[in-house]
Amino acid sequence: MSNLALVTGATSGIGRAFADRLAADGYDLVIVGRRQERLDEFAAAHPEVGIRPVVADLSADEGIDTVARICAAEPLDLLVNNAGVAHYMPLADLPADKARELVKVKVLAPTLITRAAVAGMQERGRGAIVNVAGMIAFSGPAPASVMPRRAVYAGTLAHLVAMSQTLGAELEGTGVQVEVVCPGVVATEFHERQGLDLSAVPRMSAADVVTAALRGLELGEVVCAPGVEDPTLLDTVFRADLAAFAGQSPELASRYRAVRPLNHRTP
């Protein structure tokens, strides 16, 4: 029996690279995307494996529910939550519909799709969930000079990192792995669709991102950073997170104990 994987955002970029690699490795695939013609093109190019194309818009509740039902019903060995949109712009300039689309695609969709898949994986005692985020998830402390503005986008990727880490701990000992992949700038259509020309910026290939993700699963990594040579940098970040978490107290910290009235503060 072949292994079965479901990949969202499978028609281009990192998702297409995942689907290509998994098909080459003999996986049967459920490929999810918004463009029927691209899904059909992929299926036609890979007659050697079983391909189920699913047209679904993960910015819509109906699309999320369609994919979640498949994840709950099928014996998935691997789930790749890759679908994404960018919408890089300051929060005040971000139209409400674009903010809603971004949060649905990068927060709500992977959360509900993973929820649907994980119970069956636990019952079978095996499986892996890969969430595709990015190094922008770690950029929150960056100064104002760092461009482009991307508060909501960075926040959605940070959600994927925290959810993956916490879910990985929840699933310890069940045989189900969780990994979040955090590449830097990748050579795909992703930025071009936002009107950003990054042709002069050094970029990793989507195929290399997939190679790192699959090797990261072998290594047991929960956070895979394909372009970070020194993994102790990530370990330092995570130890600092836990130190701050452990450093809390029910007592008010001393720096907050003397508060002047708002109307007495200097601008």
Q: Which residues are catalytic?
A: 153
The partner residues of 178 in beta bridges, in order of sequence, read: 129
Long-range contacts of 211-218 (CB under 8 A, 24+ apart): 211/21, 212/181, 212/183, 213/18, 213/130, 213/132, 213/179, 213/181, 214/21, 216/179, 216/181, 217/128, 217/130, 217/177, 217/179
Q: For residues 4 and 26, give the distance between their C-alpha atoms in angstroms, rounded to a whole number.
A: 9
Whether residue 17 contacts residue 207, with contact meaning beta carbons closer than 8 Å, is answered with yes
Query: Which H or E element spans position 176?
Result: strand 176-181
Rounded Cα distance, 215 and 104, in Å? 29
Helices then strands, counting H and E runs in the chain, come out as 8, 7
